[in-house]
């Protein structure tokens, strides 16, 4: 884990926990010193930091936000001597007009536990996957709502939503303001639009961040009521549509 990433993580945790400047510096020094140790040691230290910070948080929502950020930190730190290794990359999964693109991170597979993430809604509020625990969740990721295929994909799921017992999330790197404008323009009222612009938590967790573009790959994931991946499709050509029929079949079978 690089010093820059440790500094960014420490800053985010300090802001979430309302730590003082001195406490924030101590948190950074602590994470820097501990980053090369075993995962077990790191987790023990992080838990101690969180327990101290939670007492400063005024609301349960901020506690949840801090817990989710700690989970992201634990994943970023990894274990032992592997902590500084770069994220996995794949250049054999997607293309744009026939040209290969590189995906960062490890794609999830059917049967995996759906990785936690935080994204931002049009009201600039954080939304977590765990907010929908116990429900079937469809995660439709697109490069940008301002492109024809992404628009059509989002509109299709909005139309299907009325007949589905599921929550549908549409996530992209578009700013929340752009997502809000898109929904108003196209009458999107049954799909929850989210932005991954802040820290790319979703893209990194699901292995969908396009390295060359810093946009999300086109994909659809279905999370079942137990929080496991029931369907995972990364669309091979960015300009193509996902297999809507297969997605609907999986949802109706849950």
* 27, 77, 150, 169: the active-site residue: 150
The answer to whether residues 66 and 50 touch, using CB atoms and an 8 Å cutoff, is yes
CB atoms within 10 A of CB 154: 23
For residues 37 and 131, what is the distance between their CA atoms, to the nearest angstrom? Answer: 33
CB atoms within 10 A of CB 233: 15
178-181: long-range contacts, CB 8 A cutoff, minimum separation 24:
178/145, 178/146, 179/122, 179/145, 180/122
CB atoms within 10 A of CB 236: 12
Residue 150 is among the residues annotated as catalytic for this protein? yes
CB atoms within 10 A of CB 215: 23
Place of tokens 């693109």: 101
* 96 burial type by CB count under 10 A (0-12 exposed, 13-18 middle, 19+ buried): middle
The answer to whether residues 167 and 140 touch, using CB atoms and an 8 Å cutoff, is no
Token pair, residue 29, equals: 């020094």
Token pair, residue 9, equals: 């993580």
> What 3-state class would DSSP assign to 106?
coil
For residues 140 and 228, what is the distance between their CA atoms, to the nearest angstrom? Answer: 16
Distances (CA, A) of 232 to 46, 91, 216, 228: 32, 18, 15, 11
The catalytic site residues sit at 150
């Amino acid at each position: 884990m690089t010093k820059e990433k440790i500094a960014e993580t420490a800053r985010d945790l300090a802001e979430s926990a309302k730590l003082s400047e001195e406490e924030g510096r101590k948190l950074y020094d602590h994470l820097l010193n501990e980053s090369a140790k075993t995962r077990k040691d790191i987790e023990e230290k992080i838990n101690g930091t969180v327990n101290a910070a939670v007492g400063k948080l005024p609301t349960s929502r901020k506690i949840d936000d801090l817990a989710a950020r700690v989970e992201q930190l634990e994943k970023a730190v990894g274990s032992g001597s592997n902590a500084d290794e770069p994220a996995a990359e794949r250049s054999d999964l997607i293309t744009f007009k026939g040209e290969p693109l590189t995906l960062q991170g490890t794609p999830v597979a059917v049967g995996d536990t759906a990785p936690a993430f935080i994204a931002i809604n049009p009201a600039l509020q954080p939304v977590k996957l765990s907010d929908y625990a116990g429900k079937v969740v469809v995660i439709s990721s697109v490069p940008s709502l301002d492109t024809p295929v992404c628009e059509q994909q989002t509109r299709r799921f909005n139309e299907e939503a009325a007949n589905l017992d599921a929550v549908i999330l549409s996530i992209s790197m578009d700013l929340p303001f752009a997502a809000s404008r898109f929904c108003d323009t196209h009458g999107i009222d049954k799909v929850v639009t989210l932005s991954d612009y802040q820290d790319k938590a979703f893209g990194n967790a699901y292995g969908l961040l396009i390295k060359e573009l810093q946009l999300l790959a086109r994909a659809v994931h279905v999370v079942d009521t137990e929080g496991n991946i029931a369907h995972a499709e990364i669309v091979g050509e960015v300009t193509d549509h996902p297999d809507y029929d297969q997605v609907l079949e999986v949802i109706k079978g849950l």
